[in-house]
A and B are shown apart, each in its own frame.
Chain A
Amino acid sequence: MTPRLRKFALTTHVICSVGWLGAVASYIALDVAAATGQDAQTLRAAYLAMELIARYVIVPLALASLLTGLVMSLGTRWGLFRHYWVLISLLLTIFATIVLMAETRTISYFADRAADPTTSGDELRAMGNTLVHSIGGTVVLLVILVLNMYKPRGMTPYGWRKQHEHRTVSPP
C-alpha cells in the first residue's frame, strides 16, 4: 500500500470506527428514553428513531469499520493474525457486528409495534428496551478503541514464526 493510500484507508477506518461509537451513544439516549419513558408519544418516537439509527447508521458503520479494519491490517505489515491486539480487535469487532445484526431484528419488531396505531400506551410501556446490548456494545467498542490506540506488545506464534522467516530471508 502506498503511503497516500494507507493514510486514506486509516482515515476512513477511524471515521467509521469513531462514527460507530458516536452513533451507539446517540442510540443509548433513545434506549434510555424507551426504558424510562411513560408518555406514549415519547415511547413511539424513541422506538422509531432507534430503528432508523440502528438500520441506517450503526449497521453500515459497523460493516464499514470491519471492512476498513481488514484492509488496514492486510494492507500493512501489521497483518491480521500476527499481533494479539489486532487479532483480539478483529474478534471483538466480528462479535459486536453479529450481536448487532441479531439485535436489529428486535429493534425492528419494537419499531413495528410502535408504528402500529392500535398499540396502546400500556403495551408500549411494557415492550422493553435493548439497554443491556447497547451498553455492552459500547464497552466492547471502547475496549477495541483502547487496544487500537495503545497497541500492546505481543506477537502470536504465527506472527513470531513469520518474523523469523522474514529475518532469515533478508538478514540485516
Chain B
Amino acid sequence: MANPSPYPDSGVDTGVEPDRESTPGTPRWVKVFGIIALIVILLVVIVLLTGGGPGGGGHGPIRH
C-alpha cells in the first residue's frame, strides 16, 4: 500500500502540495511580513499619539 500523505487534507481546495520540504529556519516571507507589520504598528501608534486619529480627531465615541 502506498504511504499516505502526512497531509491528507491538503490540496482539496487549491491543489497545493502542503508538505513540501521545509527548513527549520524562519522563512524569508515571514521575516518580511513581520517587518511590515512592525512598521504599520509603529505608524498607527505615532498617529494615535500625535492626536491624528481616524474620523478627524479623537478615537471612538468617547470623543463627543
B is bound to A: yes
> Dominant SS at the B interface?
loop
| Tally of chain A residues near chain B (CB < 8 A) | 37
Task: Enumerate chain A residues within 8 angstroms of B50, measured Cβ to Cβ.
Answer: none
Determine which of B3, B6, B18, B61 lies in contact with A151 in the assembled complex, contact meaning CB atoms within 8 Å.
B18
Instruction: Point out the residue from B24, B26, B56, B61 that lies within 8 Å of A105, measured CB to CB.
Output: B61
Q: For residue B5, give the distance in angstroms from its CB to the closest CB of chain A.
A: 9
- CA distance in complex: A151, B12 (Å): 13
What is the CA–CA distance of A129 and B57 in the complex, to the nearest angstrom?
11
Tell me whether chain A's interface is mostly helix, strand or loop, or mixed.
helix
- Is the Cβ of B54 less than 8 Å from the Cβ of A83? no
Query: A105, B60: Cβ atoms under 8 Å?
Result: yes
Q: What are some 14 contacts across the A-B interface (CB < 8 A)? A: A3-B12, A76-B7, A76-B9, A77-B6, A77-B7, A88-B33, A109-B61, A128-B56, A129-B54, A132-B54, A133-B54, A153-B20, A154-B30, A160-B24
Interface residues of A (CB under 8 A from B): 1, 3, 6-7, 10, 14, 76-78, 83-84, 88, 102, 105-106, 108-110, 128-133, 149-155, 157, 159-160, 163, 166, 172
Q: A128-B55, A131-B54 are known contacts; what are 4 more A-B pairs with Cβ within 8 Å?
A: A1-B9, A108-B61, A128-B54, A128-B56
